[in-house]
Amino acid sequence: MRLLAITLYDTTLRDGSQRAGISYSCQDKVRIAHRLADLGIPYIEGGWPGSNPKDGEFFRILKERPLRGAKAVAFGSTCRAGNAPEEDATLRALLEAETAVVALFGKSWDYHVTRGLGTTLEENLRMIRESVAYLKRYGREVVYDAEHLFDGFRHNPEYALATLRAAVAGGADWLVLCDTNGGTLPDRAAEVVRRVAAEFPGVRIGIHAHDDAGLGVAVTLAAVQAGATMVQGTINGYGERCGNANLCAIIPNLQLKMGLPCLPDGKLAELTAASRFVSEVANLPPWDAQPYVGRNAFAHKAGVHVSALLKDPAMYEHVPPEAVGNERRVLISDVGGRSNLIAAFGDRLSPGEAAALIQQVKERESRGFQYEGAEASLALLTYKGRPPFEVLGVKVMVTGASGGPAESEVAIKVRVGDRVVHTAAEGNGPVHAMDRALRKALTEVYPQLARMDLLDYKVRVLEGSQGTGAVVRVLIESGDGLERWSTVGASTNILEASWQALTDSLAYFLVFRAGVTACADGADAAEAASG
């Protein structure tokens, strides 16, 4: 195993939880902590014990289910002004968390000391020194977070350095320089890190950057080049305001670009899966355009790009997608050509079929369809076999008095092999009723449909100037627990567009996931049901 050059410190569960829209449960935090430990991150900051019951419970659970190969970190502040460490509730809670590592933050900006804390500069130095020393007496590894260090250094560098001297005098194991407001430029960050490293030879230095200027990753990498050896950040860049420095970009940049190992061997290829796991638990949609791990990070649309990729992927990819556990995607659209189809479907299409499909895609996109986000619908356009079912008719009825609840009912006629099935179903809206009616008609022949679910439904009005007569595009995302796929419909009638996307979703599952190759009847039906 390689000796790791950079120490990673994750604060997804503490700083990351301060992002708008995130509210982790205690079990959510436990699941994420163990997933990050499995990824190989050595320091995982779990929260602020004593600030809320959830964080206290989190650390209690970790005593029973300790992290493998990682250190849980309890976070808190120095003692209050006028308080002795022994009398301070915050420090007592940090000890009661029983973590081997404690992160302690203190004020580095004189303005924050006098205006924010309302105390003297000398008292703040005492608070830092004695708080660190108190935790060291109990055998804790202390990571000292110098809050607003870069702002403090700009306004009063000598006092900012004095706060670091106080932490070192107390016995701090790490000095972490925090760009708390996220407004520092990379070259300035590097300059300050070099100054601190020269002032404290032999003391380990870390960097904690925020992304308020869009520079969190750049500041972090510049700090590393200047001598920082601990990198703090969050998965997916979650954090207050504009977020924290994004570990999903920092980690591959360190390892693949700078040659600085920070994850154990083989773990970098798990980064994309970890990113998506955290977004799922946080109940936030993945950031498709996120570098390295986003769904579009290696997605190619322009035909000239794809043509070059077929010769050598390095022409339009700065790293292989598999290095970070991601995959290449070739998008099919009206700006793509035959190369896109060849890359996407290989030898499934002849040159003539590819040319015909390109024209079909362009014609359908002129009517409102879009296939770059609906790969399942596109795959069905390439399918040469008989469809697993044929819809012969559909009737939608919505009834309800003004101001009262509306009731939706759908009646359908479907051909499955030699059988024609008439059925109807009600639902919590017309799309739900469509789904129930179609499943009711098909499930007897295709019981596999019980494995798939509709996960998301989106509607976009394409021609706002046309008002209620505008073309709408409907995207439906479905899944079977192992894979997700998207389908598309487009029409001036929202129900028709929904029906197109819905039937595509079920057909894709049956053909490409369940292996149904034809309309099921007789022996074929039995074979389909066993699939």
Tens digits of residue pLDDT in 235-277: 999 999 999 999 999 999 999 999 999 999 999 999 999 998 8
Would you give the distance in Å from CA 454 to the centre of its chain? 21
Question: Exposure string (b/e) for 466-505, b if CB count within 10 Å is 16 or more?
Answer: eeeeebbbbbbbbbbeeeebbbbbbbbebbbbbbbbbbbb
Rounded Cα gap, residues 276 and 274, in angstroms:
5
User: What is the rounded CA–CA span in Å between residue 46 and residue 33?
Assistant: 8
65 SS3 class: coil
Q: Are 474 and 490 in contact (CB under 8 A)?
A: yes
441 near 417, Cβ under 8 Å?
no
pTM for the full model? 0.70
Predicted local distance difference test score (pLDDT) of residue 307: 63
CATH code: domain 7-281 is: 3.20.20.70
Backbone phi, then psi, for 426, in 5-degree steps? -105, 160
Residue 31: what residue type?
R
- Give residue 369's pLDDT: 82
- 147 and 106 Cβ atoms separated by less than 8 Å: yes
Exposure of 300 in the CB half-sphere (CA atoms within 13 A): 26
How confident is the prediction along the chain (531 residues), in pLDDT tens digits per residue? 566 789 999 999 999 998 998 988 898 999 999 999 999 999 999 999 978 888 889 999 999 999 999 999 999 999 999 999 999 999 999 999 999 999 999 999 999 999 999 999 999 999 999 999 999 999 999 999 999 999 999 999 999 999 999 999 999 999 999 999 999 999 999 999 999 999 999 999 999 999 999 999 999 999 999 999 999 999 999 999 999 999 999 999 999 999 999 999 999 999 999 998 898 888 887 888 999 999 888 777 666 655 666 666 767 678 999 999 988 777 655 555 555 655 556 566 666 777 777 777 778 877 888 776 678 888 888 887 788 999 898 898 888 756 667 788 999 999 988 889 999 999 888 889 999 999 999 998 899 999 999 888 888 787 654 444 578 889 898 988 888 888 999 998 888 999 999 999 999 999 988 887 655 443 344 343 333
Q: Please enumerate in sequence order all residues whose Cβ is within 8 A of that of 11, keeping only pairs 6 or more positions apart, or say none.
A: 45, 75, 208, 232, 233, 234, 239, 244
88: exposed, middle or buried (Cβ count in 10 Å: 0-12, 13-18, 19+): buried
CB 81 within 8 A of CB 123: yes
pLDDT of residue 381: 83
Question: Considering only the top CATH level, what class is 390-529?
Answer: alpha beta
Q: What is the pLDDT of residues 284-322, one digit of tens each?
A: 878 889 999 998 887 776 666 556 666 667 676 789 999
Alpha carbons 348 and 256: distance in angstroms, whole number: 35
SS3 readout for 83-102: CCHHHCHHHHHHHHCCCCEE
**Measured between alpha carbons, how far is 449 from 529 in angstroms, rounded to an integer?**
10
Q: What are phi and psi of 457, to 5 degrees?
A: -140, 120
Q: Give, as one character, the DSSP assignment of residue 210.
A: B
Q: Check residue 520 and give its pLDDT.
A: 45
pLDDT score, position 310: 63
What are the sequence ranges of the domains in the chain? 7-281, 299-366, 390-529
Determine the pLDDT at residue 349.
Answer: 63
CB count in 10 Å sphere of residue 311: 9
318 neighbors 275 (Cβ within 8 angstroms): no
Q: List beta partners, residue 445.
A: none
CA end-to-end span of the chain: 43
Q: Give the separation between CA 230 and CA 238, rounded to whole angstroms.
A: 19
Residue with tokens 């355009």: 289
Give whole-number Cα distances, 10 to 234, 391, 428, in Å.
6, 52, 43
pLDDT of residue 348: 63
